Amino acid sequence: MAIYKLPFCNILLLVLFRLSKAQYEHLGYPSGYPEAVQDAYTPPELAPDTPRIQLRLAGDKRKHNEGRVEVFYNSQWGTICDDDFNIHAAQVVCRELGYVEAVSWSPSSKYGKGEGPIWFDNLQCTGKEKTLALCRSNGIGVSDCKHSEDVGVVCSDKRIPGFKFINTLPNHVENLDIQVEDVRIRAILSSYRKRIPVTEGYVEVKDGGKWKQICNADWTEFNSRVICGMFGFPGERKYNTRIYKMFARRRKPQYWDYSVNCTGSEAHLSSCKLGQVISQKSNETCSGGLPVVVSCVAGRAFAPTPMTGFRKAFRQEQPLVRLRGGAIVGEGRVEVLKNGEWGTICDDNWSLLSATVVCRELGFGTAKEALSGGRLGQGMGPVHMNEVQCSGFEKSITECSFNKEALGCSHEEDAAVRCNVPAMGFQERLRLSGGRNPYEGRVEVLAEKNGSLVWGTVCSEGWGTMEAMVVCRQLGLGFASSAFQVRVAAGGIKCSASAPDVLFISSV
């Protein structure tokens, strides 16, 4: 039997390739960059004797796509013990919830202790199961664990293309969290289609690969508050219903099967509960109702039609909260002004709820992530707040309850946030080309020339790392690690004879 061995140099090259690729994997891909093709989603077909369960992520979450794994079975929510749990089981959980994959899992009740039964113990999954109920275990409800062993997972924030929510427990809809492929605000009126950012339009969910409207029969202002926050807007307002009634008569909407039930404090729609099933009578849904419309209020920095002529008439008050150390707009270490001195917040009990209060206060939407451990840099000065607890409706983080004593806290525990910000379209007018990976390359700008939009290069005269920083921020790629110039013959922008006309940058 012949054994073939790869030459040592080939093995070395393969290892180096995988290592160089791995250093960028945690960043994902910039928008517009081609990604790996995902397998087409097919709704699971379960045998009649398969136990019917539903899952959710709960507890002290710092992102909407992580949390303590909870199982709804036999009319009751329960948890999963961490004994024998592994990344394959986490993969089944995340896929069942509609996420592309699992990133990691955590034992020992990292997201807090749950309540109720511990439904699964000694779970053994291959990662290919369509539902957690098909994994081997001690049996549902058979466990010798305590809630101090509750397991949690972190899922990727990417949703499975074509994902469709299948309710296997139709009599318990009000207990289930919302699971859809995607959400959007679609501008309907021509005046809003031309605005950037889009602040008003139909709320649509993507379910089973199709965009659908939501019936407004049970819609509340709390639901609108959550939707606006997801898209980077701190608040919502009333709109002209008459014109939307006229539009709905002309085009028949296609409604989603469910209504939505939010409390208003959620950072993401996936944390809201499903409402009642929309009744279907004589092929007509949402009888007497209309598609849900939201009208959001943009923060001052993102207002679609700023009144520049009146800006000097308003004196901006001294802010009490600011973000520092972030690589892009809407993220940074949280700093608070007290007695004329800026200080930080200790990350004890720091949560998505408190982070959302900060984001809304600064004119952004809800929080994408509440960060701890000084991840966006360590501050200076005193630690002003500790063990912050908010309801989610405060106007300022300074209105939340907190412990004034910060004994044991250091700047290694500084809290930070990443906020949802409106889509301004900046990334679509700039790109990096010719690089070895998505995070470096020649800077190219989309500009109008002879009545049409064309891509061109940027003259490098006066170009340095600070200018590269702006490009990386605009593309959402973080900080620039270097900026350099290459002299080649390229068209687009006329440069002086002494200046190269193609710029290369690399982001961290």
Residues 275 and 341 in one domain: no
Average pLDDT, the chain: 83
Is position 232 within any domain?
yes
- Higher-scoring residue by pLDDT: 317, 55: 55
Which residues span the domain enclosing 103? Answer: 54-160
Residues 151 and 71 in one domain: yes
Is position 181 within any domain?
no
Is position 150 within any domain?
yes
Is position 32 within any domain?
no
Q: What is the structure's pLDDT at 490? A: 37
Residues 70 and 132 in one domain: yes
Residues 472 and 395 in one domain: no
Is position 503 within any domain?
yes
Q: What is the structure's pLDDT at 505? A: 54
Residues 195 and 285 in one domain: yes
Residues 197 and 95 in one domain: no
Residues 482 and 414 in one domain: no
The string of pLDDT tens digits covering residues 377-389 is 999 999 999 999 9
What whole-number percentage of the chain has pLDDT above 90?
A: 53
The string of pLDDT tens digits covering residues 139-190 is 999 999 999 999 999 999 999 999 998 887 777 777 788 999 999 999 998 8
Last residue of a domain, one of 125, 160, 195: 160
pTM to 2 decimals?
0.81
Instruction: Specify the residue for token string 């409800």.
Output: 141
Beta bridge partners of 329: none
Largest CA distance in the chain: 87
Q: What is the structure's pLDDT at 10? A: 57
Residues 116 and 190 in one domain: no
Instruction: Specify the residue for token string 């296997």.
Output: 168
Token pair recorded at residue 166: 């299948």
Mean predicted confidence (pLDDT) in 393-406: 91
Q: What is the structure's pLDDT at 286? A: 81
Report the alpha-carbon distance of residue 18 to residue 341 in Å, rounded. 47
Report the alpha-carbon distance of residue 474 to residue 423 in Å, rounded. 11
Report the alpha-carbon distance of residue 265 to residue 161 in Å, rounded. 28
363 to each of 100, 166, 190, 239, 300, how far by Cα in Å?
A: 31, 37, 26, 20, 7
Decide: 302 and 232 in contact? Cβ < 8 Å: yes
Residues 477 and 380 in one domain: no
The string of pLDDT tens digits covering residues 410-434 is 999 999 999 999 988 777 888 888 8
Decide: 362 and 299 in contact? Cβ < 8 Å: yes
Note the Cα 263 to chain centre separation in Å: 19
Residues 411 and 442 in one domain: no
Q: What is the structure's pLDDT at 287? A: 73
- Higher-scoring residue by pLDDT: 32, 415: 415
Last residue of a domain, one of 363, 387, 419: 419
φ, ψ for residue 14 (rounded to 5)? -65, -45
Residues 140 and 60 in one domain: yes
Residues 224 and 328 in one domain: no
CATH code of the domain containing 268: 3.10.250.10
Report the alpha-carbon distance of residue 266 to residue 64 in Å, rounded. 9
The string of pLDDT tens digits covering residues 93-138 is 999 999 999 999 999 999 999 999 999 999 999 999 999 999 999 9
**Nearest partner of 119 among 163, 95, 97, 151, judged by Cα:** 151
φ, ψ for residue 478 (rounded to 5)? 90, -150
Decide: 118 and 79 in contact? Cβ < 8 Å: yes
Is position 5 within any domain?
no
For 207, counting Cβ atoms within 10 Å of its Cβ (0-12 exposed, 13-18 middle, 19+ buried), the class is buried
Is position 48 within any domain?
no
Q: What is the structure's pLDDT at 151? A: 97
462 Cβ neighbours under 8 A, 6+ residues apart: none
H or E, element range at 323:
strand 321-324
Is position 143 within any domain?
yes
Considering its fold, how many domains does the chain have in total? Answer: 4
Last residue of a domain, one of 114, 144, 160: 160
Does residue 161 have a cis peptide bond before it, meaning omega lies within 30 degrees of 0? no
